[in-house]
């Protein structure tokens, strides 16, 4: 039984992420936790009047959240009904990341699915500040679904790596399960600036990865390019990649792709989902 957590703000963006996730796991028995977190305001006063106002605000927003979650469930049942899927809804008044962490621990969540918003400025907010915070602060696999993504079976999954990190079995299990579930081909991509040879440590990590992926259709690819993100984008476009998986432990490597400061070359930011793997 897969336990999936999908935060929603009831926007088209988050609805698109829900549709993608339901389609991706349509043949898998799942409990899907739909959560809406109303953020606590940045002020917190000790006075009686402030506490009273805060309590009233909390009750009001939670009442509305519960109504909106009921409407969302009706929509899902009418448009995405699947007997393998059951749903839990939760309205919370909390700090966003803290609220998610509590639910993940309490319900032993296997995967978070979130929509990402826009690629207009391609600063750190390009992926959406909430999603960016979850990627960096929450130790749970996350599927980030850009707002322009339309579901198609991920036939090809790219796994960019520098081979510098030893791979955690839990990380690889998530990747293997995703590939097995979709009968995907896994493309392991190593990119170097000057075409340097792999060190002994990198070769050991590559050999371990090859052994672990023995039951999955996979291949290794080496690219040389001065710009990591441009090289990966060229690979994604040339191979018609449907999903990119990366290990969050290698955060600098990861952020150079997701959080680029330039506005050129934005194509794969707008429609390729990212699977973020945590140990």
Domain ranges of the chain: 2-146, 156-262
Q: In the prediction, which pLDDT does 164 show?
A: 82
d(CA 97, CA 94): 9
3-state secondary structure of 91: strand
Query: For the residues 69-97, what does the mean pLDDT come to?
Result: 95
48 pLDDT more than 60: no
H-run or E-run covering 201:
helix 200-212
Counting Cα atoms < 13 Å in the Cβ hemisphere of 41 gives 12
Yes or no: say if 232 and 195 are a contact pair by the CB < 8 Å rule: no
Confidence of residue 258 (pLDDT cuts 50, 70, 90): low
| 152 to 35, 144, 197: CA distances (angstroms) | 25, 15, 36
- CATH topology for 156-262? Rossmann fold (3.40.50)
Query: For the residues 77-92, what does the mean pLDDT come to?
Result: 95
| 96 to 13, 91, 121: CA distances (angstroms) | 17, 12, 23
Looking at residue 119, what DSSP letter applies?
A: -
Higher pLDDT, residue 111 or 256 = 111
Confidence of residue 263 (pLDDT cuts 50, 70, 90): very low
Q: What number of residues does the chain have? A: 279
d(CA 225, CA 209): 23
Question: Mean pLDDT of all residues in the chain?
Answer: 83
Candidate CATH numbers 3.30.930.10, 3.40.50.620, 3.40.50.1240, 3.40.50.300; the one for domain 2-146: 3.40.50.620
Q: In the prediction, which pLDDT does 52 show?
A: 55
266 pLDDT more than 80: no
pTM for the structure as a whole: 0.86
CB atoms within 10 A of CB 196: 9
Q: In the prediction, which pLDDT does 135 show?
A: 79
**2-146 with 156-262: one CATH topology?**
yes
Q: In the prediction, which pLDDT does 154 show?
A: 96
Tens digit of each residue's pLDDT (9 = 90 or more) over 140-183 = 999 999 888 899 999 999 998 888 888 888 889 999 999 999 99
Q: Buried (b) or exposed (e) across 138-165, using 16+ Cβ within 10 A? A: bebbbbbbbbebebeebebbbbbbbbeb
| 223 to 98, 135, 228: CA distances (angstroms) | 39, 26, 9
Query: For the residues 228-254, what does the mean pLDDT come to?
Result: 78
Confidence of residue 242 (pLDDT cuts 50, 70, 90): very high
d(CA 227, CA 41): 40
Tens digit of each residue's pLDDT (9 = 90 or more) over 86-123 = 999 999 988 899 999 999 999 999 999 998 875 443 33
d(CA 269, CA 263): 11
**Which tokens belong to 139?**
């130790």
d(CA 261, CA 237): 21
Q: In the prediction, which pLDDT does 218 show?
A: 97
């Amino acid at each position: 039984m897969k336990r999936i957590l999908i935060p929603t703000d009831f926007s088209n963006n988050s609805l698109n992420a829900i549709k993608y996730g339901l389609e991706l796991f349509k043949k898998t028995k799942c409990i899907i936790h739909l959560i809406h977190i109303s953020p606590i305001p940045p002020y917190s006063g000790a006075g009686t009047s402030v506490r009273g106002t805060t309590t009233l605000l909390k009750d009001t927003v939670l009442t509305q959240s519960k109504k909106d979650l009921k409407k969302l469930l009706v929509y899902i049942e009418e448009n995405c009904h699947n007997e393998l899927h059951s749903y839990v809804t939760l309205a919370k008044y909390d700090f966003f990341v803290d609220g998610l962490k509590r639910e993940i621990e309490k319900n032993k969540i296997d995967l978070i699915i979130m929509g990402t918003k826009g690629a207009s400025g391609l600063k750190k907010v390009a992926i959406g500040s909430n999603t960016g915070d979850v990627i960096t602060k929450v130790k749970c696999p996350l599927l980030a679904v850009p707002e322009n993504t339309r579901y198609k079976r991920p036939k090809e999954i790219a796994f960019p790596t520098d081979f510098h990190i030893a791979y955690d079995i839990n990380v690889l299990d998530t990747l293997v399960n995703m590939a097995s579930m979709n009968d995907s081909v896994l493309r392991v991509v190593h990119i170097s600036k000057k075409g340097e040879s792999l060190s002994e440590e990198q070769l050991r990590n590559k050999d371990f990865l090859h052994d672990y992926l023995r039951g999955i259709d996979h291949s290794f690819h080496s690219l040389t390019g001065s710009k990591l993100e441009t090289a990966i984008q060229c690979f994604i476009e040339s191979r018609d990649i449907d999903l990119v998986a990366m290990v969050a432990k290698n955060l600098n490597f990861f952020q150079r792709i997701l959080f680029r400061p330039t506005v050129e070359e934005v194509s794969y930011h707008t429609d390729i989902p990212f699977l973020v793997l945590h140990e």
